[in-house]
Amino acid sequence: MSTGKYKNKNMIIKVNEKDHSLGYVDKLAAHKEAILHRAFSVFILNNKGEMLLQKRADNKYHGGGLWSNTCCSHPTEDENLKIQAEKRLMEEMGFKTKIGKIGEAKYNLKVGNLIEHEYDHLFIGTYNGEIKPNPKEVSDYKWVSLPKLEKDLEDNPGIYTPWFKFLYPRVVKNLQTFHVD
């Protein structure tokens, strides 16, 4: 682990149980050793109340080929989380929209032979325009109504990322608190 300044995208922020930074750790090492680290997840809905899901590119180091929330990543400390989440949304899904924070979640979930031990900041937004996903990040995308998605999560849990299955009920529960700053 490094405690120096952010050097590259392979270094992520190690945190304690209260999300206080403890320096940097290699991303793959964090996922192999179940080191708690900071993350953010973005959930986008359209005016019909459908959620935008992405199918992660097959070449992703974990969760490849699985359906998940609109986008997620690991932030740096160079700027605020909301700005970084909005930038990552553009990088992965090819569009800009305003988002608002609806909460945080901690989890420790097995993903193949790796572990997602994250302190995750949850953001939500709305969008109704064109989507241009980055093929290096996303192999497919779809809009799904919440009732249909809930049924599919029950009927076909193996096609979704573990973190999405964990976060989805928490996000839906907090939809009423959603607002964009």
DSSP 8-state symbol, 79: S
Q: From the candidates 86, 92, 118, 137, which is the catalytic residue?
A: 118
79 is catalytic: no
- How far apart are alpha carbons 46 and 40 in whole angstroms? 20
C-alpha–C-alpha distance, residues 176 and 102, integer Å: 9
Q: What is the 3-state secondary structure (H, E, C) of 30-76?
A: HHHHCCCEEEEEEEEECCCCEEEEEEECCCCCCCCCCEECCEEECCC
Q: Which long-range contacts (CB under 8 A, 24 or more apart) does 81-90 make?
A: 81/40, 81/121, 81/123, 82/123, 82/181, 84/40, 85/40, 85/42, 85/121, 85/123, 88/40, 88/42, 89/42, 89/44, 89/125
Pick the catalytic residue: 72, 92, 116, 137? 72
The answer to whether residue 33 is catalytic is no
- Residues recognised as catalytic: 72, 118
